[in-house]
């Protein structure tokens, strides 16, 4: 296949043509020509001229986006449909949580995930404990050398303090990253939404902020004691941002992420008992969202993830308290971030292109002649409607169906 991206704005900050309009030619997955837009590029008659910029059409090309947190559940999403969804959302690389079946806890399972890379490049997050139960460590060194990019218990917190301490010790051998989902499941037991005035009005058991914050406080003390690298995934409260900001000032080797949809709603959205708004961490209050935005702006929050959690219609179309947590996020993550985060495009790309690869120890793809293509082309100001008929995911659990979104992906190319 041969493509020419004509007169597009190049947003690769390591390129000498950064923020210049360029002609980008790709043939058989390799970048063959890259010139300023006023220099013509020779192409064959079979070349697809994909886009040409104009006053109404501000197409941009960046290094391909990477999602650090996705789950491809076999019943609601297979590896092929999950990759289609990622591709439609602009992601060329996706990290798969270990909470799949079977759990990613042996080296051959790590390799099996990477071998599924057909449309996007899949990275395995290795299971930190056997069956993600938090009681017995996996062979993380073996998983690392098989290709695991980090270690986590997926959707579950690392609740056992000695397990966390030992995992931080063991991963120092190869400078590995431990990913913690900060949630005290006992404090959140039977919880259905954020604990506050709205949960009281609706009669739901709430999920208090402290269930997240107490784990972060505990883990920071353990990290001070033992060292290592720790990443908090899916933080959601004002105090969580403050704790991580202060810990970074103290020089602790920590990082964190939020999911894009956390910025879009507050807990009051659940007044109509719509299970498509049932997520964990739950949608909280305006003060928390403002703190998350501040954390994104000042660099306290390093990464934005999709937290893609597919569920079937049968699972979601039940009484609210019986429905599982989670929504599909790969196809809407960029647009939702663009609309609700307050970040400019360069800042968003830091959160979905550069910072994730730095944390995971991955090479940075280059947009340069002779390099294998790993690019995302997008219209940052294009309005579009996300609907069930055109989505690529097999699952249908999204609160954004039928809504007008801003920022549309045009095409991804990976090798």
Please give the full DSSP string across 104-154, using - where no structure is assigned: S-SHHHHHHHHTT-SSSEEEEEEESBGGG-SSSB--HHHHHHHT--EEE-T
184 part of the active site: no
Q: What is the pLDDT of residue 52?
A: 64
In CATH, what class is 2-61+368-381+406-414?
A: mainly beta
In the chain, list all ranges with CATH 2.30.40.10.
Answer: 2-61+368-381+406-414
Alpha-carbon gap, residue 132 to 100, rounded angstroms: 10
Q: What is the pLDDT of residue 385?
A: 96
Q: What is the pLDDT of residue 73?
A: 78
Alpha-carbon gap, residue 71 to 398, rounded angstroms: 15
Mean pLDDT by 10 residues, the chain (415 residues): 92 96 94 92 82 70 98 88 97 96 95 94 98 96 97 96 98 97 97 97 97 98 98 98 98 98 97 96 98 98 97 92 96 98 98 98 96 96 93 94 95 94
Alpha-carbon dihedral 131, 137, 142, 146, rounded to 10 degrees = 40
Q: Strand 254-259 relative to strand 303-305: parallel, antiparallel, unpaired?
A: parallel
Please tell me the pTM assigned to this model: 0.96
The catalytic residue among 139, 307, 350, 381 is 307
Q: What is the pLDDT of residue 274?
A: 95
User: Contact, 31 vs 1, CB < 8 A?
Assistant: no
Q: Residue 186, CB half-sphere, CA atoms under 13 Å: how many?
A: 5
Q: What is the pLDDT of residue 1?
A: 84
Q: Is 31 strand, coil or helix?
A: strand
**Cα Rg for the chain, rounded, in angstroms?**
21
Is the bond into 102 cis (omega within 30 degrees of 0)?
Answer: yes
In the chain, list all ranges with CATH 3.20.20.140.
Answer: 64-360
Q: What residues form DSSP beta bridges with 67?
A: 94
Alpha-carbon gap, residue 148 to 95, rounded angstroms: 10
Is the domain covering 64-360 a CATH 3.20.20.140 domain? Answer: yes
Alpha-carbon gap, residue 132 to 215, rounded angstroms: 17
Q: What is the pLDDT of residue 54?
A: 56
């Amino acid at each position: 296949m041969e493509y020419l991206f004509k007169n597009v704005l190049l947003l690769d900050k390591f390129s000498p043509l950064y923020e210049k309009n360029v002609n980008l030619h790709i043939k058989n997955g390799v970048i063959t020509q890259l010139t300023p837009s006023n220099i013509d590029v020779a192409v064959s008659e079979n070349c697809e001229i994909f886009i040409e910029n104009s006053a109404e059409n501000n197409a941009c090309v960046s290094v391909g986006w990477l999602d650090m947190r996705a789950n491809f559940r076999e019943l609601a999403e297979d590896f092929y449909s999950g990759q289609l969804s990622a591709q439609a959302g602009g992601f060329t690389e996706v990290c798969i949580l270990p909470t799949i079946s079977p759990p990613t806890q042996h080296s051959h399972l790590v390799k099996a995930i990477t071998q599924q890379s057909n449309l996007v490049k899949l990275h395995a997050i290795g299971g930190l404990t056997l069956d993600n139960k938090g009681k017995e460590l996996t062979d993380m060194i073996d998983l690392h050398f098989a290709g695991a990019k980090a270690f986590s218990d997926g959707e579950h917190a690392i609740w056992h303090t000695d397990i966390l301490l030992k995992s931080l010790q063991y991963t120092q051998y190869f400078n590995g990253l431990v990913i913690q989902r900060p949630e005290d499941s006992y404090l959140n037991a039977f919880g259905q939404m954020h604990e506050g005035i709205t949960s009281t009005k609706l009669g739901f058991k709430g999920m208090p902020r402290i269930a997240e914050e107490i784990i972060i406080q505990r883990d920071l003390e353990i990290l001070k004691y033992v060292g290592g690298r720790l990443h908090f995934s899916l933080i959601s409260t004002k105090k969580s941002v403050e704790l991580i900001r202060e810990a970074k000032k103290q020089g602790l080797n920590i990082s964190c992420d939020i999911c894009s949809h956390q910025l879009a709603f507050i807990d009051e959205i659940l007044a109509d008992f719509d299970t498509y708004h049932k997520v964990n961490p739950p949608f909280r209050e305006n003060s928390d969202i403002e703190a998350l935005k501040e954390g994104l702006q000042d660099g306290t929050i390093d990464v934005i993830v999709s937290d893609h959690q597919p569920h079937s219609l049968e699972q979601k179309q039940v009484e609210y308290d019986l429905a599982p947590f989670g929504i599909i996020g790969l196809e809407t993550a960029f647009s939702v971030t663009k609309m609700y985060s307050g970040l400019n495009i360069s800042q968003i790309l830091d959160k979905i292109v550069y910072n994730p690869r730095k944390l995971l120890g991955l090479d940075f793809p280059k947009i340069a002649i002779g390099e294998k293509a790993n690019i995302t082309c997008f219209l940052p100001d294009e309005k579009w409607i996300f609907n069930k008929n055109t989505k690529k995911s097999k699952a249908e659990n999204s609160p954004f169906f039928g809504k007008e979104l801003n920022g549309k992906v045009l095409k991804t190319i990976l090798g």
